[in-house]
Amino acid sequence: MKNKGQSASQRGIAFLLILQTMLIGVNAENRLQRGDSPIEVLIWMINQCIPVLKQASSLQEKQKKSLLPKHRRSEEQ
């Protein structure tokens, strides 16, 4: 039951990361429309996406760790 709660929580976090990435894109479009140079906007987007990628990587590591004990138990039986 604990795994189901963790899975739902991880899906929620994944959804928020996707939403955050989409908002970065919307903000980038707004910056372009205001007249910012495409290179400046691209650099800004990269700087905004680095924390999102770190969060996604951390989520992926947590998922791997949560699957390990279950996998080991099935091998022992």
Specify the pLDDT at position 69.
Answer: 63
Q: What is the DSSP string of the chain?
A: -HHHHHHHHHHHHHHHHHHHHHHHHHHHHHHHHHT--HHHHHHHHHHHHHHHHHHHHHHHHHHHHHHHHHHHHHHH-
Under-70 pLDDT residues of the chain: 1-6, 69-77
What local confidence, expressed as pLDDT, does residue 73 receive? 47
